[in-house]
Structure 1
Amino acid sequence: MSDFEPGTGVVRPRLTVLSGPSGVGKSSVLAELRRQQPDIYFSVSVTTRKPRPGETDGVHYHFVDREKFQQMIHAGEFLEHAEFAGNCYGTPRRPVEEALAAGRPALLEIELQGARQVRVAMPRAQLVMLAPPSWEHLVDRLTGRGTEHPEVVERRLAIAREELAAEKEFDEVVVNADVQSAAADLLSLMVGPRISGV
C-alpha cells in the first residue's frame, strides 16, 4: 500500500506495524525480511526487564529502570507502551520519526494492544497481521514445542483466538505458509511500487 506525498506523486516511507499470535513465526519472517531488505528500520523497544544472557543494550532492547520508563511516558516519548509479567515495554517515538524523515521504511513488531495504540498515535501507520495458514497449523506449532505446561499453551491459544478475531482492524493480512514468501509479501506492502530499480 503506497502513501503518496500530496501533489507530487512521490511515495513517502511509512510506518508498518506487524502483529500476530504467538507461534505464527514473526521472528523468522523478520529475520528473512532483514536479509531481503537491510535498509528497513527495525524499532528497538525499551524495557524495564533485566538483560538476558547474550542480549546487548541498544541492539535487542534499550534497558532502563522503572523510574526512567515512567519519565519517558510522561515526556510523551513512546508511540505505545504496555506492561507484561511485571515488566514494562515501549516503542520509542523519535527513532521511528527520524527513520521515516530520512526516507527509510520503518517496522514495529508488537502485540495487538500496542498496534491499537500506534494507530491512534500515528494514523498513517499501516497495520499488518501475520496469520497462520490455518488454525490447526498454529495449534500444532504451539503444542509441538512440548516445552510448556498445558495450561500455558491453553492461555496462548486463547490469546491467539482473540488476536486473530481482530483481523478486521488491520489494513493487510500476510499468511505465513512459507517464510521467504511471507517476508517478500510484507516487503512489497512496505515499499510498494517504489523499489524497482531503486
Structure 2
Amino acid sequence: MIAKGTLYIVSAPSGAGKSSMINALINRNPNLPIQVSISHTTRAPRPGEESGAHYHFVSKEQFEELIAQNAFFEYAEVFGQYYGTSKMAIEQTLTQGIDVFLDIDWQGARQVREQMNDAVSVFILPPSSEELENRLKMRGQDSQEVIRSRMRQAKAEMSHYDEYDYLIINEDFDHAVTQLQAILQCHRLRQSAQALKYQTIIQDLLVNEPEID
C-alpha cells in the first residue's frame, strides 16, 4: 500500500525566494515523489513562462466561471489578479502518494487549512527589508512604483508568519533549502507513513515466529 502524499503550503512575500527554494529542493531529490502544484492565474505571463508549465493562464471571465463551478481548492486575489489551485488535481496527486508543494499567499493558505487540517505549512522570510527590496530590484521586471507597492504588501503578508507550522529565514539560499528538505524528511518519517510503507517488515518482526534450527 502507498501512504497518501502530504500537501505542503509554502508562503512568503514576493522576492523572498520561495519558488526558487521549492524548485531547488525538487532538483536535489529527483527520485522522491514530489512536485509543485500548477496554479491558475489571470495575470499575464512573464518572460520565459509557459502556460501549463509555470501557470495555467486564463482570462478573468474563465477564472470566475471556474469559481462558480467550485473547481478550486483555494483561490485568492493578489495585486488585482486571481490565483487558484485545482481541487481535483491536488486530490488525485496526493492519492498517488506524491507530495505536493503549494506556492500560495496567506489568504490561500487559510482556505486550504480549513479544508485539510493535515497540510504542513511553511513560511519563508527574507533576512531584512533592505535585502528584500534589493532582490525585487535585481529581477529587473518591475518599475520602482511596483516595487514600492510590493514592499508595502510584503509587510502585510509577513505579519501572518505565526499562522504557519514552520519558519525559515532565507539568508543563505543553500542552507534555507536544506532546512526545507529537513521538514520534508521529518514528515516522511512519521509513524503512520512508515508503518504503512514497512508493514511487511513490521509483520515479520512482531507476528511471525522465528525459525530456529
Is this a same-fold pair by TM over 0.5? yes
- Supply the AA of the counterpart residue of 2:124: L
Give unmatched runs, 5+ long, in structure 1: 1-9
For 2:126 and 2:170, how far apart are their aligned partners in 1?
A: 5
TM-aligned CA deviation for residue 130 of structure 1 = 0.8
State the match for 1:26 in structure 2. 18
Contact 2:3 2:97 in 1 (8 A): no
Q: 2:163 aligns with which of 154, 169, 177?
A: 169
State the match for 2:150 in structure 1. 156
In structure 2, the CA distance between the partners of 1:53 and 1:136, relative to structure 1 (3 Å rule), is closer
RMSD: 2.7
For 1:53 and 1:12, how far apart are their aligned partners in 2?
A: 36
Question: What is the 5 A alignment of 1:1-198?
Answer: 12-38=4-30, 39-51=33-45, 54-143=48-137, 148-192=142-186, 194=188
TM-aligned CA deviation for residue 171 of structure 1 = 0.9
In structure 2, the CA distance between the partners of 1:154 and 1:120, relative to structure 1 (3 Å rule), is same
Contact 1:11 1:194 in 2 (8 A): no
For 1:193 and 1:89, how far apart are their aligned partners in 2?
A: 27
Contact 1:100 1:106 in 2 (8 A): yes
State the match for 1:3 in structure 2. none
What's the TM-score once normalised by structure 2's chain length?
0.75
In structure 2, the CA distance between the partners of 1:188 and 1:153, relative to structure 1 (3 Å rule), is same
- Supply the AA of the counterpart residue of 1:176: N
Moved runs in structure 1, 4+ residues, more than 6 A? none
State the match for 2:192 in structure 1. none
TM-aligned CA deviation for residue 14 of structure 1 = 1.5
- Percent identity between the aligned chains? 40
Contact 1:16 1:128 in 2 (8 A): yes
For 1:62 and 1:37, how far apart are their aligned partners in 2?
A: 25
Cα distance per residue 1:150-184 (max 9 Å; x no partner): 43332222211112211111111011122222122
TM-aligned CA deviation for residue 190 of structure 1 = 2.5
Give unmatched runs, 5+ long, in structure 2: 190-196, 198-213
Q: Secondary structure at the match of 1:129?
A: strand
In structure 2, the CA distance between the partners of 1:117 and 1:193, relative to structure 1 (3 Å rule), is closer
Q: Secondary structure at the match of 2:9?
A: strand
Q: Of the two, which has the highest radius of gyration?
A: 2
What's the TM-score once normalised by structure 1's chain length?
0.79
